[in-house]
Amino acid sequence: MLAVFGHLNPDTDAISAALVYARLLTRQGVEAKAYRLGELNFETAYVLRELGIDAPPLLHELAPGAAVALVDHNESAQSVSNLSELDVTRVVDHHKLGDLTTSQPAYLRFEPVGCTATLLLKLHLEAHLPVEVTDAKLMLSAVLSDTLHFRSPTTTQADREAVAFLAPIAGVTDVEAYALAMFAAKSDLGDTPAETLLRMDYKVFPFGDPAQPSLVQRWGLGVIETTNPAYVFGRQAELLAAMDQVKVADGLTGVLLSVVDILNESNRTLVLSAAEEKVMREAFGAETEGQVADLGARISRKKQVVPTLEAYFAPGA
């Protein structure tokens, strides 16, 4: 049985892609099962409740040599701890190629689109398989989530066409209203502990020259996408304390938490210390006031934040 899973701290795309790809592979004669590597965020939980389906089971560990398929990620820092010991047979992803290695030739599908679900729709069409209703709504939800309903600069024409194709199958007549309902669920943070908020959409990235491991820096980059940023900044002190704890616990060089205002398409980032403040100023040209740096319209971690940091930390930069 092939295990299919997305990244740590899974979002709607990671969960939807695992469910949809496992079902697609099984329909094509490859027995596969979806898993998750972390707890659901509020938006993803809302989507699954709307569909009346259970979340994939939590994956604790796999025996060395187990066959796996990765969706929505390909970097070891964002995957299971023993990824290098597993047999990665397939990867479907829309991120840059990281440190992935395989023991034998694998099926790789990478395209610069806004969402893994967009690629999964293409795989359905290329296989001449009809899209099932549940899968259509999962993929639709994922595209709307990852592209912030086309607000993100990662959005492509393929993503727009995917939404137009999937919505009628999914039975969603008002796409905008559905997207806003998803974003409202994402923003209903209640009394969620600060560290949970930080880690809901959180990834660790290595920056620097991999040929000199001792000089590589590890940064934790969290994102809170919300229609109510005032609530998040009302808990700024708690979040900064959680960032400090995570920085020490994870052995990181730096931690940043971007608060993305979905409706106004803006990013104000919490800055933990002088070390992070220096990077904000030198990499982004952003001054920090009250431990907050205004990154303007840089709302995509994948396309606008990580590449800037990679360039800043590149050897010789």
Q: Please report the pLDDT score of residue 191 as a whole number.
A: 87
Closest CA to 272 of 256, 251, 260: 256
Each residue's pLDDT, cut to its tens digit, for the chain (317 residues) gives 999 999 999 999 999 999 999 999 999 999 999 999 999 999 999 999 999 999 999 998 899 999 999 999 999 989 999 999 999 999 999 999 988 988 889 999 999 999 999 999 999 999 999 999 999 999 999 999 999 999 999 999 999 999 999 999 999 999 999 999 999 999 999 889 999 999 999 999 999 887 777 778 999 999 999 999 999 999 999 999 999 999 999 999 999 999 999 999 999 999 999 999 999 999 999 999 999 999 999 999 999 999 999 999 987 66
**φ/ψ bin of 276: left (φ > 0), alpha (ψ from -120 to 50), beta (otherwise):** alpha
Secondary structure, 3-state, the chain: CEEEECCCCCCHHHHHHHHHHHHHHHHCCCCEEEEECCCCCHHHHHHHHHHCCCCCCECCCCCCCCEEEEECCCCHHHCCCCHHHCEEEEEEECCCCCCCCCCCCCEEEECCCCCHHHHHHHHHHHCCCCCCHHHHHHHHHHHHHHCCCCCCCCCCHHHHHHHHHHHHHHCCCCHHHHHHHHHHHHHCCCCCCHHHHHHHCEEEEEECCCCCHHHCEEEEEEEEEECCHHHHHCCHHHHHHHHHHHHHHCCCCEEEEEEEECCCCEEEEEECCHHHHHHHHHHHCCCEECCEEECCCCCCHHHHHHHHHHHHHCCCC
Q: How far is residue 123 CA from its own chain's centroid?
A: 21
